[in-house]
Chains A and B, each alone.
Chain A
């Protein structure tokens, strides 16, 4: 009934198409494709807004495999593992076959991930029913610590990024006393800086800056997708199974992401394959495993987000931004008070995964056409899209200035190797972390022992400390190894 009476189906298909096109463009990650959609979601019904973003994520994870196979350039990081055998198949004149395996494996991985999402999310969110302000504070600290530890190679840079994000979150009106902070007399800043501006600036604008002057991508002629035969489907099902399970596990781990899942799946598929010698030489399983993995991640990465409000990936962070735009807080309340949004998300994602079978074939010529456009025009169009979209949110040019500043900050962060996800998380969660911390102290009359009286908060804070210490130990070991190698 939901699918028939609402525009859910066309919105799912539009989001899917947008995601595939965005993912097919090297340099446009799923998070950038989703961030560019955020301004459009302001005027949409909350359910449709979330469906649009989630289906764009699903589409982008598949779209990244198209240039990976055709021109040896992954459209997304998660498609990097697909290059190994995908491009080899293209060199052997089997590009259509490779794209067909990628498409079918994407659907299998997507359906598997969606099943896990539907099964696990609501029960997990019930754990959060026992949460008090102290627990939410602990959860926020844990989320920031985990993401800071796992994003990028340096814990210190991850922490610095998280702190910078928290600093941005303090701009605006203090939630308890009503005092204005860091607004410098500007009325536009009284409401704070919306996460959408930070995301679009960090992800999209900084990427445009980074890729300025880059060489054009080699031109690619279009090719027809060949859907795998029954025999091929049987041959690749073990690799798909491995990809689905690894993708599910990695999706649940905050900060792990699609690229880790893709490479792990590739390695494990090779280890368990009956024909491991074919890997690297155009193996069908070499495409099936990573593609099913990164499409499973697209759904399961939403589990920590929807259950606890902790986005496990850049794309999930953008989805969280979309939820917050409409005043929706993830967690058990979302399942109780906004059941329509959750059901809509599940239904829309299902429509997107199934539609992928048809859309993936129909949209391929458009993807190839887009990839072949001169990059200067594409850069100009993305700028125009950013400015038009951001202006339409509040109708003020100040917001464009914020996005441009965020772009500069993003470029500097990239230059020095600082990860984005902790910063985005800091901006998104900063208000919640601070207000729950201060609310807890109001309840206790300023006594910090209240945090020790809540076993959930204690557990979460200890877990955060363990994550940080573990990450620090790992870095010290790595530094010691480098020193040893340098002396040798």
Chain B
């Protein structure tokens, strides 16, 4: 599976490499040089991994419950958490920093199994206020202001 993934990445990368415009200012190697080499190398490594998996890894013991625990959350669960956190981006773009923070803090807590409670309201509200204070007031850095406000 990893081998197939690497070969796919190499193929896509190479396809993008051939579309790099040619430049009159290019040197001997040019902007295509290293990307072409990298695509070839990754393809070779991908093939080697696949060959190794077919020829030798049959002798590896099957993953145990401890191995699976080491791997962590299942892909679906992990992507769900990421999607929950990623809601920050569209909400921040639309409504600004503070509503997006509230959404992330509450959304992730819900997703990870916390039940709604006054304590959660206090944590989410306090957390949003803390980050606004830290980044917008104390550090004075830019934060999303939102399209609507």
Residues in chain A within 8 A of chain B (CB atoms): 40, 43, 156-157, 159-160, 163-164, 166-167, 170, 174, 176-182, 205, 208-214, 374-377, 379-381, 383-385, 387-389, 391-392, 395, 397, 400-401, 404, 407-408, 411-412, 414-416, 418, 434, 437-438, 441-442, 445-446, 479, 482-483, 485-486
Is the beta-carbon distance between B59 and A383 smaller than 8 angstroms? no
Check: B108 CB closer than 8 A to any chain A CB: yes
Give chain A nearest CB distance to B107 CB in angstroms.
8
Interface centre among A205, A381, A486 (most CB of B within 10 A): A381
Tell me which residues across on chain B come within 8 A of A397, comparing CB atoms.
Answer: 89, 92-93, 144
In chain A, what residue has the closest Cβ to B106?
A: A380
Residue pair B31, A442 in contact (C-beta under 8 Å)? no
Using a CB–CB distance below 8 Å, which chain B residues touch chain A?
Answer: 1-2, 5-6, 9, 13, 16, 20-21, 23, 25-31, 33-35, 38, 41-42, 45-46, 48-49, 52, 56, 59-60, 71-73, 75, 77-82, 85-86, 88-89, 92-93, 97, 100-101, 104-109, 111-114, 123-124, 127-128, 131, 134-135, 139, 141-144
Q: Please state if B73 and A442 are interface contacts (CB–CB under 8 Å).
A: no
- Closest CB-CB distance, A42 to chain B, in whole Å? 8
Which residue of chain A is the closest to B39 with respect to CB atoms? A167
| A159 touching B45 in the complex, CB below 8 Å, given contacts A391-B143, A415-B75 | yes
Nearest CB on A from B149, distance (A): 16
A379 touches B81 (CB 8 A): yes
Say how far B105's CB is from chain A's closest CB, in angstroms.
4
Which residues of A have CB within 8 Å of B23? 174, 177-179
Of B52, B97, B112, B143, which is in contact with the most chain A CB atoms at under 10 Å from its CB?
Answer: B112
Whole-angstrom distance between the Cβ of B110 and the nearest chain A Cβ? 8
CB distance from A84 to the nearest CB of B (A): 18
Asked if A482 meets B73 with Cβ closer than 8 Å, knowing A177-B27, A400-B89, A442-B28, the reply is no
| Docked pose: A43 CA to B142 CA in angstroms | 12
Is B42 touching A392 in the complex (CB atoms < 8 A)?
no
Most buried by B among A178, A181, A388: A388
Q: How far is the CA of A441 from the CA of B6 in the complex (A)?
A: 30
Interface pair B77/A392, CB less than 8 Å apart: no
- In the complex, which of the residues A179, A389, A392 contacts B21, with contact meaning CB atoms closer than 8 Å? A179
Is the pair A438, B104 in contact by a Cβ cutoff of 8 Å? no
Given contacts A156-B45, A482-B60, whether A380 and B104 have CB atoms under 8 Å apart is: yes
